[in-house]
Structure 1
Amino acid sequence: MKAAYTFSAALIIALSTSCAFAAPVLRADISVVSPIVTVGDMFDDAGTLAEQPMFRAPRPGTTGTVDIDTIRAAAARAGFSEFASNGLSAVRVSRSAALVDETLLSSLISNDLRARGILSHGMQAQTMFASPVGTIEAAATDQPARLDGLRYLPGNSTFTARFILAGVDQPLTVSGTIDLMVDVPQLATSLPAGAILSEADIVMRPVSVRQADAQGIAHLDQLVGMSLNRQSREGMTLRIGDVSTPLTINKNDPVTIYFRQGPLTLTVKGQAITGASEGAPLQVLNLMSKRVISATAVAPGAVEVSTSGLTVAGL
């Protein structure tokens, strides 16, 4: 009985020891992000040795092979010699890459200009490279490219920029021009004179800041609810002089003329000789007396005659 107990205990110890020190298992094909291949990258069941470095990874975006003898030598340097090779003679090692292109580089330049206060709200930087920048494979990190320096001359719009690319030994230097752009309001469709503008009638499109400043471009809030002064075509850029306050009363509109003096209020039918917006003066014809008098537009179809210098007989 005692012998049986001793044998069982020894078997349990042997099994637990075998599980605790299970040999790492070699993988046939691995993909890494960092520049160093670790034991945990190369082997399953790497245990406490998982973070130990073995050898350098290939360049970002490339794949290489490592033969079994090189793996054995690297494993020995990492602190172990026994592993399950599964009959493999070599392992494929691929390194992930992040793609760096003109779009990413342009966004980094824009961010720098915005941080300097050169780009304000509603403005964009349109970057043109002197030579095309092909797609570059950098290390797959949170920041595959970093702007290391930017020289920008607003007078002639030229720039030179230097970038540091993750996993790439040499910095990247590019040059070209930067046009500062701003969104301006343009008509979304052709409209007749007198049309009242709504937001749906206006689209915002980018033009150069110099052009916008030279042409006196209007802001969106200066246009919505205003009246077009003339027939306008689709795509026309809107300026302050293109619009005016909508007419409350148009020429030839029938109106009611109000005359107030103390508790007395008189009304008479009339016809507008000229148009006017609310609060503006206009000429109206008193249809009863056939007199043309000056009045003020107070509402659609309603004008008011000032009591100053005018009597009931003057109506």
Structure 2
Amino acid sequence: MPALDVPDAAPVGYLAPVARRPLTRIAPIGAGVWLRAAFAFLALAVLGACVLPALADAPMRLRGDVTARGDVLTLDDLVEGAPASAARRPMFRAPALGATGTIQARRIVEAVAALNLGAVETGGRLQVAVQRAARRVGAQEIEAALRRALEAGYGLDAKAVSVRLDGDGPILLAPVDLDGQVLALDLSYDPRSRRLSGLMTLGERQASLRVSGLVVEMRDVAVVARTINRGEPVTAADLAIERRPREAAPPDAQGSAASLAGEVAQRTLSQGAILRTGDTAPPELVARGEAVTIVYESPGISLAMRGQASDAGRMGATVNVVNVASKKTLQAVVIGPGRVSVGPAPLQRQASAEPPTSLR
């Protein structure tokens, strides 16, 4: 067999040799690069040398209006950026509790200069206003303390009295950090004149104020919450219970609203008026001339008949009624809307001697 002419081919499993590339050579850093880096480092050093001292030596600034919490104003109270070593140094005395004062800016600048601490920028201010913080104990707290002392020392009911303090609302000023309840010490009270005086104190007499006044006896009264027209029913929402001085309230003032609900106004009641006895009354259950049912009840007998009321009446009231059948006038007691009751006793008082059955 003739041989086949096969082109040259790589045998199976033959690996081509790896071609080695020549290594890239790294060029050395030139003098220009080193020079630029040196210039950048020098620029940063110069910048830091100029800026940091300027920041460190920034001048102190005068604060605006300040609030003092103690007796003395320190350097830090008045100046921003004061050195920590001198920040708590006393500079000026603070105003009295609750008062306001001013300090000339030049005086602060001169005081700081005397300490060799540097310049102080005033920002154009000529003076600084200083307010002294204080806890204010007003008339309401003072009155409550006096009423507690009256109850403990003289047996008065603290809920039934009020204290009318002399002057225009006394105020006890105390440091803001002085906590606790105000107390009334050295209390004196005259039951005849009802005058009292006492020393109001806070914190073991760290703050004190002497006050005087008049003890006023109070009482609960019902006050009309809205205008109520005559004949209009009164509800619980129409009345409010308020505490008023006893001498300013009428003797017949109503002191409870619960028993008045459901009654009707006997006259026009203005809003804010104190409700008095007789201003309201139970509603009329029987009107004059109204047709009513007359009820007669006795042991073994129960009758009902038609009648006509000659009088108007409320629950329990005695009215005259006419028996429609017999035309006789009877005395009856109102027992409900349109209903009256007669009994043996009223019938015996009538001129007629007829038995009750004749009422039919």
Shorter-chain TM-score bucket reads 0.5 to 0.7
* Structure 2 residue aligned with 1:11: 47
| Greater radius of gyration (CA) | 2
Higher RCO (CA < 8 A, seq sep 6+): 1
Of 70, 73, 79, 2:111 maps to 70
Does the C-alpha gap of structure 1 residues 273 and 89 become closer, same or farther in structure 2, counting only changes over 3 Å?
Answer: closer
- Whether contact under 8 Å (1:271, 1:285) holds in the other structure is yes
Q: Which runs of 5+ in 2 are unaligned?
A: 1-36, 348-354
Correspondence list, 1:190-269, <5 A: 196-197=233-234, 207-209=244-246, 215=252, 217-227=254-264, 238-240=275-277, 243-257=280-294, 268-269=305-306
Does the C-alpha gap of structure 1 residues 236 and 61 become closer, same or farther in structure 2, counting only changes over 3 Å?
Answer: closer
How far apart, CA to CA, are the structure 2 residues paired with 1:150 and 1:287?
Answer: 80
* Structure 2 residue aligned with 1:110: 144
Does the C-alpha gap of structure 1 residues 301 and 58 become closer, same or farther in structure 2, counting only changes over 3 Å?
Answer: same
TM-score, structure 1 normalization? 0.65
How far apart, CA to CA, are the structure 1 residues paired with 2:262 and 2:50?
Answer: 88
The amino acid across from 2:147 in the alignment is: L
- Whether contact under 8 Å (1:147, 1:161) holds in the other structure is no
- Whether contact under 8 Å (2:103, 2:128) holds in the other structure is yes
How far apart, CA to CA, are the structure 2 residues paired with 1:259 and 1:266?
Answer: 5
* Alpha-carbon distance, 1:15 to partner: 4.1
Does the C-alpha gap of structure 1 residues 216 and 154 become closer, same or farther in structure 2, counting only changes over 3 Å?
Answer: farther
Correspondence list, 1:58-207, <5 A: 58-59=95-96, 60-66=98-104, 67=107, 68-73=109-114, 76=115, 81-86=117-122, 91-96=127-132, 104-105=138-139, 107-110=141-144, 112-113=146-147, 116=151, 118-120=157-159, 125-129=162-166, 132=167, 138=173, 141=176, 146-149=182-185, 151=187, 153=189, 155-156=191-192, 157-164=194-201, 171-185=208-222, 196-197=233-234, 207=244
TM-score, structure 2 normalization? 0.59
* Structure 1 residue aligned with 2:327: 290
- Whether contact under 8 Å (1:34, 1:139) holds in the other structure is no
How far apart, CA to CA, are the structure 1 residues paired with 2:248 and 2:304?
Answer: 53
- Whether contact under 8 Å (1:32, 1:57) holds in the other structure is no
CA RMSD of aligned residues (A): 5.1
- Taking only the aligned residue pairs, the percentage that are identical comes to 22
Question: Paired residues, what number?
Answer: 298
- Whether contact under 8 Å (1:37, 1:57) holds in the other structure is yes
- Whether contact under 8 Å (1:280, 1:297) holds in the other structure is yes
How far apart, CA to CA, are the structure 2 residues paired with 1:111 and 1:136?
Answer: 13
The amino acid across from 1:113 in the alignment is: R
- Whether contact under 8 Å (2:161, 2:215) holds in the other structure is no
